[in-house]
Amino acid sequence: MIRLIIADDHPVVRAGLVALLTLEPDIVVVAEASDADEAVAATERENPDVVLMDLQFGAASHGSGADATRRIRALDAAPYVLVLTNYDSDADILGAVEAGASGYLLKDAPPHELTAAVRAAAAGESALAPVIAARLLDRMRAPQASLSAREIEVLELVAAGSSNTEVARVLFVSETTVKSHLAHIFTKLGVSSRTAAVSAARQRGILR
């Protein structure tokens, strides 16, 4: 029997997932969570096999799904984490994978794909939605146009309106390092300004 926790901040979504997954004879939902802290606490309490994790929780939540994934995967006898989200930007995908997620699905996935992914995750296998797998393959095939996780972090902060000084403070690096990252970003994206870099990254699906 696969013990599953569902972490999503929308009660209707959680109810739908519970209704769907409890129909499966080999899956039991042992807990629900509405934010990152609840997801971690439920994992420590219930010892699940898989945590089905949303990436974005409400404003009151302390941390994102990627943060919760990182904390859960650091636990002793850590369960596998399967991301189920609406977001398919490079920043979201890389953040989740680097945090330790073993699968990544979008919420428009058909039910049979979701149940198959839960079983795959429980077996320690990777479970990627086709569009996510294609995105990762594209990054591998065209690495010169791909931004590193840190470069994406820098660009996300720039997109939010942060100055170089503010970016440096948030990431605990020097302004010189931030300028170096921006120079690499401009080269990879073929642009010459911060605004153009943000625009190009959004067009390519690197940022939301």
Q: What is the pLDDT at residue 70?
A: 93
Confidence of residue 192 (pLDDT cuts 50, 70, 90): confident
Q: Measure the CA–CA gap between 208 and 199, rounded to whole angstroms.
A: 10
Q: Is the pLDDT of residue 187 over 70?
A: yes
Q: Measure the CA–CA gap between 66 and 72, rounded to whole angstroms.
A: 10
Q: Is the pLDDT of residue 159 over 60?
A: yes
Q: What is the pLDDT at residue 60?
A: 64
**Residues 59 and 100 reside in one and the same domain:** yes
- Average pLDDT score over the chain: 88
Q: What is the pLDDT at residue 134?
A: 73
Q: Which tens digit of pLDDT belongs to each residue from 94-107?
A: 788 888 898 899 99
Q: Is the pLDDT of residue 148 over 90?
A: no
Domain membership of residue 208 (yes or no) is no
Q: What is the pLDDT at residue 28?
A: 96
Q: What is the pLDDT at residue 126?
A: 85
**Residues 14 and 42 reside in one and the same domain:** yes
CATH number of residue 115's parent domain: 3.40.50.2300
Mean pLDDT of 172-190: 87
Q: Measure the CA–CA gap between 24 and 3, rounded to whole angstroms.
A: 12
Q: Which tens digit of pLDDT belongs to each residue from 106-140?
A: 999 899 999 999 999 999 988 887 777 777 766 66
Q: Measure the CA–CA gap between 113 and 127, rounded to whole angstroms.
A: 9
Number of compact structural domains in the chain: 2
- What domain range includes position 133? 2-139
Q: Who has greater pLDDT, 183 or 20?
A: 20
Q: Measure the CA–CA gap between 101 and 121, rounded to whole angstroms.
A: 9
**Residues 118 and 164 reside in one and the same domain:** no
Q: Which of left, alpha, beta for 146 (phi over 0: left; psi -120 to 50: alpha)?
A: beta
Q: Is the pLDDT of residue 143 over 60?
A: no
| Boundary of a domain, candidates 101, 122, 139 | 139
Q: Is the pLDDT of residue 193 over 90?
A: no
The percent of residues in the chain predicted with pLDDT above 70, rounded, is 94
**Residues 95 and 132 reside in one and the same domain:** yes
